[in-house]
């Protein structure tokens, strides 16, 4: 039997295989970081004592926190720039664009492994790379030349048939798939696309699909490298990076899904979860207050061609605020040169910086109870900065048409070809800096070294500090947004905000009790890769998270920082007294308040057990 594309890339990067635990250790060719996770990742890298990175390419982007309200963000940027220069990392300055968009344009290569400290790193898989999101410490280890360990993924083959109809978008393909598979359906799986429909999708469309594969909890997504990939690399003036790559015809998938593109219609992820999917036709009487077009999911030139085709000669509805953030300098230059920017301005759009911006709650928070249509990838509770807002995730086409009409509208059947895709793609390097290995690292006062954590021990007592339901996101655990992001390099300060959107007293309660556990149900820790969602609770004295199941990246982050993830479905309320004891073989959890005991086989690998025993990965260096 032949191989899937996923297994071809994994096999060509295999360093070792842990058959007993079903894990693969793979070589990482390229890494990327962004500012909000990068400061931690580089503090960790520096603590290894190496003099330069050992990857083929590492890139440090500044795109998340560019508000600079106070000295903190700008200090972070300076730190990142000097670290990059000293240790051999390419630096992408604030203003150059969103990490995933720029990485796709400038660096991602077919057949390469890319590890990024951001959950949407798989965007780069749109060119046939295998790009994976991870916590900062895992990326720091990869920069130090260490292999990255993953659960050997199940490969889901998604067969795409036929061609999308006019007005239906790549975004609708992935929203549809998330509706089918749910936000936990992709955990420890790679989603591999194949079939005749693949060749009808350009690289930016494939990147949109791979990007939002993160919302399935998938390890990654992947497309073949074919004629379309070559075309994309040619227009990006890096044809030499092309290699053809595809699955063997006789390869078989662990799971199979077929999507007939010709039958899809525009869809939306409704509040507050990407898998709460409905057809746009079912939502068409909903009045819209805000429309935002951008983010790493939909901010390519390709997207703006569609948007401008809809907005040409039109004005947005008077009750709608339309914000547009081009994904990169390149996209901004192109829409400027090709007349698209004029169309957007004449329609009444507000042009935002090429950065994550409102996607991570950095500005543009909607009004109380407002309906906000966004071309982004996450609509988790509170993420927009307004807890009562209703955020719908939609395609750029739906967003633009709805901005004009003032209510959710379907573009099905609209021909959107007012502007050409066949234009020059400028190579924008003015905000990209190659390392000179000469800088000294500059560390402002808000950048604090990571606290040292003691091991939790093999037997401990703790109180339940919070008891939660299914699908708790890292946005619940460690909110982002304009108020909190400035403290991403300061664990003590950021820990004040843990669970603050849903439980204001959490951090104070933890500090008073000193030893705590978190109890939750399915898919705990879905969403972002931010390791702060593990480090800050650890700082507050959390020793274990007891959940029915965990999201991949977050589980690893917990272990990396010495918190024990226990996969158990237990009944427990706030302040219940819990006793945990574990060895290599068994874990026992006793709820002393209710007198119930739960026991299970310890499913940590030897390596993970060792990390918990010593208090986390940083204590091993």
Residue pair 548/572 in contact (Cβ under 8 Å)? The answer is no
Stretch of 16-24, 113-121, 459-467, 534-542 contacting ligand MIC, by CB under 6 A: 113-121
Nearer to ligand SF4 by C-beta: 296 or 572? 296
Residue pair 477/537 in contact (Cβ under 8 Å)? The answer is yes
| Angle, alpha carbons 385-387-391 (nearest 5°) | 80
Nearer to ligand MIC by C-beta: 414 or 482? 482
Alpha-carbon distance values, 324 to 84, 303, 425 (Å): 30, 11, 20
Nearer to ligand MIC by C-beta: 109 or 476? 476
Residue 346 and residue 180: Cα distance in Å, rounded? 39
Give the footprint of ligand SF4 on this chain (CB under 6 A). 64, 98, 118, 120, 295-296, 356, 359-360, 376-377
Nearer to ligand MIC by C-beta: 295 or 309? 295
* Interacting positions 358-377 with ligand MIC (CB under 6 A): 360
Nearer to ligand SF4 by C-beta: 158 or 359? 359
Nearer to ligand MIC by C-beta: 118 or 228? 118
Q: How far is the CB of 158 from ligand SF4 (least distance, A)?
A: 22
Q: What residues does 524 pair with on adjacent strands?
A: 550
Among 130, 480, 535, 545, binds ligand MIC (CB under 6 A): 480
Nearer to ligand SF4 by C-beta: 117 or 590? 117
Q: For the residues of 485-525, what is the DSSP string, one character each?
A: GGGTT-HHHHGGGTTTTT-TTHHHHHHHHSSEEEEE-TTBT
Stretch of 2-10, 405-413, 438-446, 522-530 contacting ligand MIC, by CB under 6 A: 522-530
Q: How far is the CB of 31 from ligand SF4 (least distance, A)?
A: 15
Q: Which structure tokens are listed for 60?
A: 């440090």
Nearer to ligand MIC by C-beta: 507 or 528? 528
Residue 581: count of CB within 10 angstroms of its CB: 15
- Identify what 37 binds: ligand MIC, ligand SF4, none; CB under 5 to 8 Å per kind: ligand MIC
Alpha-carbon distance values, 135 to 213, 329, 352, 527 (Å): 17, 27, 28, 12
Residue pair 72/34 in contact (Cβ under 8 Å)? The answer is no
61: helix, strand or coil: strand
Stretch of 115-123, 408-416, 491-499, 583-591 contacting ligand MIC, by CB under 6 A: 115-123
Q: How far is the CB of 609 from ligand MIC (least distance, A)?
A: 27
Among 530, 538, 543, 555, binds ligand MIC (CB under 6 A): 530
By CB under 6 A, tell whether 400 contacts ligand MIC.
no
Stretch of 367-375, 449-457, 521-529, 555-563 contacting ligand MIC, by CB under 6 A: 521-529
Q: How far is the CB of 231 from ligand MIC (least distance, A)?
A: 29
Instruction: Tell how strand 267-269 and strand 277-279 pair up.
Output: antiparallel
Q: How far is the CB of 201 from ligand SF4 (least distance, A)?
A: 20
The residues, ordered by sequence, that sit 6+ positions from 366 with a Cβ below 8 Å of its Cβ are 289, 290, 372, 384, 385, 386, 389, 391
Nearer to ligand SF4 by C-beta: 44 or 63? 63
By CB under 6 A, tell whether 37 contacts ligand MIC.
yes
Residue 562 and residue 617: Cα distance in Å, rounded? 7
The dihedral sign for the CA sequence 476, 376, 216, 96: negative
Q: Which structure tokens are listed for 78?
A: 């300076």
- What DSSP designation does 543 have? E
By CB under 6 A, tell whether 560 contacts ligand MIC.
no
Nearer to ligand SF4 by C-beta: 97 or 411? 97
Residue pair 324/344 in contact (Cβ under 8 Å)? The answer is yes
Q: Which structure tokens are listed for 309?
A: 């085709």
Q: How far is the CB of 542 from ligand SF4 (least distance, A)?
A: 25
| Angle, alpha carbons 491-492-494 (nearest 5°) | 60
Q: How far is the CB of 527 from ligand MIC (least distance, A)?
A: 6
Residue 445: count of CB within 10 angstroms of its CB: 9
Among 9, 24, 36, 484, binds ligand MIC (CB under 6 A): 36
Q: How far is the CB of 432 from ligand SF4 (least distance, A)?
A: 18
Contact residues for ligand MIC, defined by CB under 6 A: 36-37, 64, 118-120, 133, 360, 378, 480, 527-530
């Amino acid at each position: 039997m032949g191989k899937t594309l996923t297994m071809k890339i994994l096999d060509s990067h295999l360093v070792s295989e842990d058959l007993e635990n079903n894990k693969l250790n793979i070589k990482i060719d390229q890494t990327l970081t962004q500012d909000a996770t990068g400061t931690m990742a580089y503090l960790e890298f520096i603590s290894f004592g190496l003099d330069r990175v050992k990857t083929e390419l590492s890139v440090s982007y500044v795109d998340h926190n560019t508000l600079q309200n106070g000295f903190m963000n700008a200090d972070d940027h300076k730190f990142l720039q000097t670290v990059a220069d000293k240790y051999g990392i390419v630096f992408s300055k604030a203003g150059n664009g969103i990490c995933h968009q720029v990485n796709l344009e400038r660096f991602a290569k077919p057949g390469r492994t890319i590890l990024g400290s951001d959950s949407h790193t798989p965007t780069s898989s749109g060119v046939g790379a295998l790009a994976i999101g991870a916590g900062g410490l895992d990326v720091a280890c990869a920069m130090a030349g260490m292999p990255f360990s993953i659960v050997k993924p199940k490969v889901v083959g998604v067969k795409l048939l036929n061609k999308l109809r006019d007005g239906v978008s790549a975004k609708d393909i992935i929203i549809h798939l998330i509706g089918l598979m749910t936000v936990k359906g992709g955990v420890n799986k790679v989603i591999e696309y194949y079939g005749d429909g693949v060749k009808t999708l350009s690289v930016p469309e494939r990147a949109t699909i791979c990007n939002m594969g993160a919302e399935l909890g998938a390890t990654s997504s992947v497309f073949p490298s074919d004629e379309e990939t070559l075309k994309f690399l040619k227009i990006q003036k890096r044809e030499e990076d092309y290699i053809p790559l595809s699955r063997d015809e006789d390869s078989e998938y662990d799971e199979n899904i077929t999507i007939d593109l010709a039958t899809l219609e525009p869809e939306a992820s409704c509040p507050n979860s990407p898998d709460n999917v409905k057809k746009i036709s079912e939502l068409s009487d909903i009045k819209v207050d805000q429309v935002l077009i951008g983010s790493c999911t939909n901010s390519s030139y390709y997207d703006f061609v569609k948007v401008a085709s809809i907005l040409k000669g039109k004005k947005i509805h008077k009750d709608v605020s339309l914000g547009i953030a081009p994904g990169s300098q390149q996209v901004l230059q192109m829409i400027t040169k090709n007349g698209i920017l004029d169309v957007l301005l004449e329609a009444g759009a507000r042009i935002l910086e090429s950065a994550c911006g409102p996607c991570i709650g950095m500005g543009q928070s909607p009004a109380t109870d407002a309906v906000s249509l966004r071309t982004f990838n996450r609509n988790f509770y509170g993420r927009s900065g307004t807890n009562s807002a209703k955020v719908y995730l939609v395609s750029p086409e739906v967003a633009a048409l709805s901005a004009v009409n003032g209510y959710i509208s379907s573009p099905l059947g609209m021909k959107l070809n007012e502007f050409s895709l066949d234009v020059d793609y400028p190579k924008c390097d003015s905000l990209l800096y190659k390392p000179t290995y000469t800088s000294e690292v500059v560390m402002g006062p808000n950048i604090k070294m990571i606290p040292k954590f003691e091991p939790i021990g093999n037997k401990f007592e703790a109180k339940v500090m919070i008891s939660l339901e299914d699908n708790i996101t890292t946005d619940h655990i460690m909110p982002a947004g304009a108020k909190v992001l400035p403290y991403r390099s300061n664990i003590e300060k950021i820990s004040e905000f843990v669970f603050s959107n849903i439980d204001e007293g959490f951090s104070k309660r933890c500090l008073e009790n000193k030893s705590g556990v978190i109890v939750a149900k399915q898919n705990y820790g879905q969403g972002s890769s931010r390791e702060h969602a593990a480090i800050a609770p650890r700082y507050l004295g959390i020793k274990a998270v007891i959940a029915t199941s965990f999201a991949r990246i977050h589980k690893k982050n917990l272990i990396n920082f010495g918190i024990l993830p226990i996969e158990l479905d237990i009944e427990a309320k706030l302040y219940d007294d819990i006793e945990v004891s574990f060895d290599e073989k068994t874990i026992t959890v006793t709820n002393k308040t209710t007198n119930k005991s739960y026991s299970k086989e310890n499913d940590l690998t030897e390596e993970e057990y060792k990390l918990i025993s010593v208090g986390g990965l940083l204590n091993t260096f």
